[in-house]
Amino acid sequence: MPTEKLVWQNLGKTRNYRLGSLVNTRGVNLWRFRLLEWEGQAWGVSTDEELRSWAKPVLLADNIPLIAGGEYGEGRVIWSGMNILNHIKDYDWDNEEVELMRKIMAWLLAGYSGEKLAWEKDYTGERVGADRAEFTINRDLETDGYGLYFKEAYHPYWQAAVKTEEGKQEKLKIYRAGPSFKYVFLPELKAGDKLIFWVTRPWWYGGLKMIALLSLLGLGVYAVRPRWMKVRLK
């Protein structure tokens, strides 16, 4: 984190913004930024006045960092103490905050090249059941720089593996990404290989199902028992 600590703060419905020096923000007009508010109330932020030695501010409000970042180790970091994407969406997408986000992403990804795999052309997917999904790779991926972001809720019982056409299987680690979705780093793959997600249930899950079944049977017996008693009385 670029900050030493985080404190929930109310900065009021301010428009007293200032740009930092980390990102090239030439052309960004702060006067066109929206008020720091939501539905008439001040927009709460989680931030702190002090940044770590390696971090610099990108955007400040009343001299308190809203967005900050810096170079850390071999990578780059951008942090936001407010949900700026939701702030943009709350108004419209044609404003200066969008332009600032473009500048931030340009700095964050500078020097990196990427390729987005195309659905149906490069890979296909199939939902086999509620607890299983399979993705088939349609072309060779001769580098381990690819990954798959699976927009389904992360849970520790989910498992992932790559299965080759020869039947060999390599288990992959699932990372929690975004709003608790799943992400896996892919190894080198050949056309026809499959990426499989499935759920491994704990040993006690079967016991819970048995208890539920017995409880249901018990309720059924209780519901029909009075009829048996009436027959005996007659």
DSSP lists the bridge partners of residue 159 as: 198
State the average pLDDT over residues 186-209.
81
- Please choose, from the candidates 44, 52, 57, 49, the residue with its C-alpha nearest in 3D space to the C-alpha of residue 1: 52
Q: Is residue 25 domain-resident?
A: yes
65 against 215, higher pLDDT: 65
Using CA atoms, how far apart are residues 229 and 233, in angstroms rounded to an integer?
6
Q: How many domains does the chain have?
A: 2
Q: What letter would DSSP give residue 120?
A: T
In this structure, are 95 and 154 located in the same domain?
Answer: no
* Final residue before a domain boundary, out of 61, 76, 108: 108
pLDDT, one tens digit per residue, over 139-161 is 888 776 788 888 888 888 899 99
In this structure, are 84 and 15 located in the same domain?
Answer: yes
Q: Is the pLDDT reported for residue 169 higher than 60?
A: yes
In this structure, are 31 and 99 located in the same domain?
Answer: yes
In this structure, are 103 and 149 located in the same domain?
Answer: no
pLDDT at residue number 233: 46
Q: How is residue 211 written in tokens?
A: 């208890």
In this structure, are 40 and 102 located in the same domain?
Answer: yes
Q: What angle do CA 183, 186, 189 make, to 5 degrees?
A: 150
Query: Of all residues in the chain, what percent carry a pLDDT higher than 70?
Result: 82
State the CATH number of the domain containing residue 140. Answer: 2.60.40
pLDDT at residue number 216: 72
pLDDT, one tens digit per residue, over 25-46 is 888 887 777 777 777 777 777 7
pLDDT at residue number 193: 92
Give residue 100's domain range.
7-108
Secondary structure percentages of the chain, helix, strand, coil, to 5: 25, 35, 45
In this structure, are 14 and 54 located in the same domain?
Answer: yes
Q: Is residue 221 domain-resident?
A: no
State the average pLDDT over residues 113-135.
82
In this structure, are 87 and 172 located in the same domain?
Answer: no
In this structure, are 128 and 48 located in the same domain?
Answer: no
Q: Is the pLDDT reported for residue 128 higher than 90?
A: no
* Final residue before a domain boundary, out of 59, 82, 108: 108
- Report the 10 Å Cβ neighbour count for 69: 24
State the average pLDDT over residues 171-187.
87
The model's confidence at residue 104, banded by pLDDT at 50, 70 and 90, is: confident
State the average pLDDT over residues 164-182.
87
Q: Is residue 228 domain-resident?
A: no
In this structure, are 130 and 104 located in the same domain?
Answer: no
State the average pLDDT over residues 86-99.
68
